[in-house]
A = this chain, B = another copy of it.
């Protein structure tokens, strides 16, 4: 994954730009209120969970071995990330900085014994 990080086209900010251009070209920006994007994010997270809902813990670990489920998983992960990034764009939140700050807080909150 370090590899794609170094490909500018795949970086988070570049993906946000592509998503914004995609929505603007289709006049979909008016649908992209923070509330609607948060709802769409939850809906897509549910679609990702659906793949796993009847699986045992063990079965869930081998889901990528079947090409069809693997493709479905990647597709739903992409949808979740897409709505998360679009939400960050409209709110002006930097997702990577938010997560780095949260890990800092969690390291204090849950000290290693």
Query: CB within 8 Å of B: which residues of A?
Result: 1-2, 4-5, 9-13, 15-16, 18-19, 22, 25-26, 31, 33-36, 38-43, 45-57, 60-61, 63-64, 73-75, 77-82, 84-85, 87-88, 90-103, 106-107, 110, 112
Q: Are A74 and B57 in contact (CB under 8 A)?
A: no
Q: Are A112 and B5 in contact (CB under 8 A)?
A: no
Q: Give A36 to B63 CA distance when docked, in angstroms.
A: 13
The binding surface of chain A is classed by DSSP as helix
Q: Give A78 to B1 CA distance when docked, in angstroms.
A: 20
Q: Give A102 to B19 CA distance when docked, in angstroms.
A: 11
Pick the 8 closest A-B CB pairs, nearest first.
A46-B46, A78-B102, A35-B60, A45-B45, A35-B52, A42-B45, A1-B13, A10-B96
Contacts A1-B13, A15-B99 aside, 5 further interface pairs with beta carbons under 8 A come to A5-B12, A5-B13, A34-B63, A38-B45, A40-B54
Q: Which residue of B has the minimal Cβ distance to A82?
A: B99
